[in-house]
């Protein structure tokens, strides 16, 4: 049974819960601490030197050998600001990912258009708006103090599937940090998730209570909820803007930003088009292009990068008369201390521009420290279940690591036996012969095997399932190299294939010629020879 450390701990604490009568959550808390200390002590990843004191530093190691290191602080306006965020892949070197990351605006617009809030700048998410948390708010983790009171919950979670094959699977692990800010009736749970595969997932849970209502129940801007026929609760949109200062390269000013589109062609194919931007940009999604954005450490195709897929953009709040910046979903700007909030920036920085669209003023981003601003929105139509305290609606996005790990996360280190070729034979055949042969290899782990070949005679191909098929077209002597792969490793073998010309047929009796052709169809004349293949460990 191939259980992770946390799975083993989970199993253990559930047994303990039964036998000791302690609550599961209390035991989970104890177990979490044990789990954290265990994984830290067994990890091979070394701690990264960070420029913050021990209290403001968070380091988390995972079962797959990966590690996150970062600093945090709580500010009056933005509340949680993360800095010096580093990811160390399993067996790899630390990668500086973000020099800072934060929620830079929480824009709320009501459908009656009477009120718009910019909660970060009008109120703030820190200071007095930051809620003191208790153990009941953080049952699966531990609390961190902001100054003198507990206000941040740190916990580790077992998430979705990392991968799945016929015989193996792994689930992701993640470090989660959240705080709660009560702004008016709303309680915003500001969350950051750091996955063991290098992904970063900012998110906000909107809970608390509905904020605005009207006694005019005929208005078309909200809904009557059950049990309260005299109150119309108003619909509204939450727009979350994150400010992300990536630092992927060796220096702060060497990151590249690009957009990739998969452009549909008239014949049904799709062609990838990637555009690297050299000046500041404001960009909108184009759902038919299935586009995505990358920030990378260099120009190389295999450069370490982070990828933003706009999967959570089913709601787009656009009100350009009032907020011209609302037309766009992603902005790229040159880092400036003056550009702190996505909107109402001049409120606290009078000598600076006011919103993120104004920051996009044509500056070159080449050799500059660049910042991404990403907007995700959610239109909230009240439902009866929102009474009296509503369930959290979670919104956010994932930034996936690309070309950061050596391969599929969670696969390395698992016991594996390489596939073994069944004896291959050299082949003879003549042009025109049809080929239908199954190549075979064995795998002691019963992994799915995939096959590939180089050097095949023209007209013949090898399917990924090992089916050698086609028709010999051209005489010659071919050296064919075949590769079989399981989930971790592969085995290479080669054989020779001699293809001769078909002798011209000068008399009637095509039946006999066909029989001859069939007999020479590449599978009969062969001698066996010892295998000369070599085994390669997985990449």
Of residues 284 through 323, those in contact with other proteins by CB under 8 A are 285, 287-288, 290, 292, 301-302, 309-316, 318-319, 321-322
Q: Which of residues 70-109 bind other proteins (CB under 8 A)?
A: none
Task: Using alpha carbons, select from 171, 207, 201, 172 the residue that is nearest to residue 189.
Answer: 207
Minimum CB separation from other proteins for residue 43, in Å? Answer: 20
Q: Whole-angstrom Cα distance, residue 72 to residue 164? A: 35
Q: How far is the CB of 517 from other proteins (least distance, A)?
A: 29
Q: Does 11 bind other proteins (CB under 8 A)?
A: yes
Read off the tokens for 458: 């023209």
To other proteins, the closest distance from the beta carbon of 257 in angstroms equals 17
Nearer Cβ to other proteins (314/413)? 314
Nearest distance from C-beta of residue 514 to other proteins, angstroms = 28
Q: What are phi and psi of 28, to 5 degrees?
A: -60, -40
- The one among 18, 505, 525, 534 contacting other proteins by CB under 8 A: 18
What count of other Cβ atoms lies within 10 Å of the Cβ of residue 369? 18
Q: In the set 9, 404, 456, 499, which binds other proteins (CB under 8 A)?
A: 404
Of 265-284, binders to other proteins (CB under 8 A) are 266-272
- CA atoms of 410 and 172, how far apart (whole Å): 8
3-state SS, residue 520: coil
Task: Choose one: 61-69, 153-161, 344-352, 364-372; the region binding other proteins (CB under 8 A).
Answer: 153-161
Site string for other proteins, 110-149 (x = CB under 8 A): -xxx-----------------xx-x-xx-xx---------
Interface region with other proteins, contact rule CB under 8 A, candidates 73-81, 242-250, 390-398, 525-533: 390-398
Decide: is 14 part of the binding site for other proteins (CB under 8 A). yes
Cα 63 vs. chain centroid, distance in angstroms?
18
Q: Does 500 bind other proteins (CB under 8 A)?
A: no
With CB under 8 A as the contact rule, which of the stretches 31-39, 261-269, 343-351, 524-532 interacts with other proteins?
261-269
Pairing assessment for the beta strands 222-225 and 228-234 based on DSSP bridges: antiparallel
Q: Dihedral through CA 88, CA 91, CA 92, CA 95, nearest 10?
A: 0
CA 64 from centre of chain? 16
DSSP string covering 368-410: S-EEEEEEEEEEE---GGGSSSEEEEEEE--EEEES-SSSSTT
Interface segment toward other proteins; rule CB under 8 A; list 66-74, 243-251, 386-394, 472-480 = 386-394
Q: Does 394 bind other proteins (CB under 8 A)?
A: yes
Site membership for other proteins, residue 262 (CB under 8 A)? yes
Size of the site for other proteins (CB under 8 A): 124
Smaller CB distance to other proteins: residue 319 or 347?
319
Distance CA 520, CA 40 (A): 64
Q: Hey, which bits of 467-537 come out as E strands?
A: 467-471, 476-485, 490-500, 534-536
Which residue carries 């709580």 as its tokens? 74
* CA pair distance 304, 327, nearest whole angstrom: 30
**Assigned token pair, 233:** 């609760």
State which of positions 422-481 bind other proteins (CB under 8 A).
Answer: 448, 450, 452, 464-465
Question: Least Å distance between CB 412 and other proteins?
Answer: 10
Q: Which is nearer to other proteins, 266 or 506 (CB)?
A: 266
| Half-sphere CA count of 504, side-chain side, radius 13 A | 1
Distance CA 242, CA 25 (A): 32
- Sketch the per residue contact string, 22 through 61, with other proteins: x for CB under 8 A, - otherwise: -xxx------------------------------------
* Per-residue tokens: 200: 């970063």
The reply on whether position 191 binds other proteins by CB under 8 A is yes
201 near other proteins, judged by CB under 8 A: no
């Amino acid at each position: 049974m191939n259980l992770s450390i946390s799975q083993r701990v989970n199993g253990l604490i559930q047994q303990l819960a039964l036998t000791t009568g302690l609550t599961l959550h209390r035991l989970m808390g104890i177990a979490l601490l044990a789990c954290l200390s265990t994984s830290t002590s067994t990890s091979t990843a070394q701690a990264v030197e960070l420029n913050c004191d021990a209290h403001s530093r968070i380091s988390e190691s995972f079962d797959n050998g990966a590690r996150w290191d970062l600093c945090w602080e709580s500010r009056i306006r933005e509340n949680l600001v993360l800095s010096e965020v580093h990811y160390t892949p399993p067996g790899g070197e630390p990668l500086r990912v973000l020099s800072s990351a934060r929620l830079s605006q929480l824009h709320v617009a009501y459908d009656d258009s009477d009120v718009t809030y910019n909660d970060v700048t009008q109120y703030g998410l820190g200071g007095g708006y930051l809620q003191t948390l208790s153990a009941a708010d953080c049952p699966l983790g531990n609390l961190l103090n902001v100054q003198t009171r507990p206000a941040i919950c740190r916990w580790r979670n077992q998430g979705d599937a990392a991968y799945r094959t016929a015989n193996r699977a792994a689930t992701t692990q993640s470090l989660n940090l959240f705080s709660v800010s009560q702004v008016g009736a709303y309680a915003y749970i500001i969350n950051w998730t750091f996955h063991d595969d290098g992904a970063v997932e900012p998110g906000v849970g909107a809970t608390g209570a509905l904020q605005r209502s009207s006694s005019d129940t005929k208005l078309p801007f909200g809904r009557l909820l059950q049990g309260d026929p005299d109150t119309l609760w108003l619909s509204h949109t939450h727009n979350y803007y994150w400010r992300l200062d990536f630092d992927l390269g060796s220096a702060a000013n060497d990151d590249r930003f690009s957009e990739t589109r998969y452009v549909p062609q008239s014949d049904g194919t799709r062609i990838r088009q990637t555009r690297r931007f050299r000046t500041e940009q404001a960009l909108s999604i184009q759902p038919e292009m299935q586009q995505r954005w990358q920030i990378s450490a260099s120009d190389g195709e295999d450069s370490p990068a982070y990828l933003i897929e706009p999967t959570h953009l089913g709601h787009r709040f656009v009100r350009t008369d009032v907020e011209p910046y609302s037309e766009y979903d992603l902005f790229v700007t040159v880092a400036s201390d003056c550009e702190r909030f996505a909107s109402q920036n001049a409120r606290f920085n009078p000598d600076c521009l006011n919103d993120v669209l104004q920051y996009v003023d044509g500056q070159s981003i080449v050799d500059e420290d660049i910042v991404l601003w990403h907007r995700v929105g959610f239109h909230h139509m009240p439902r009866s279940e929102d009474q009296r305290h509503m369930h959290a609606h979670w919104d956010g996005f994932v930034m996936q690591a690309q070309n950061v790990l050596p391969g599929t996360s969670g696969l390395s280190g698992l016991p594996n036996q390489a596939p073994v070729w069944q004896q291959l034979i050299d082949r003879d055949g003549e042009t025109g012969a049809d080929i239908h042969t199954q190549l075979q290899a064995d795998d002691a782990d019963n992994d799915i095997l995939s096959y590939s070949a180089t050097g095949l005679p023209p007209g013949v191909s090898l399917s990924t399932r090992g089916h050698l098929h086609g028709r010999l077209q051209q005489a010659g002597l071919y050296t064919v190299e075949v590769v079989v792969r399981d989930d971790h490793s592969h085995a290479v073998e080669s054989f020779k294939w001699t293809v001769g010309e078909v002798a011209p047929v000068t008399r009637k009796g095509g039946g006999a010629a066909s029989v001859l052709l069939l007999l020479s169809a590449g599978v009969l004349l062969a001698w066996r020879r010892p295998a000369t293949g070599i085994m390669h460990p997985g990449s």
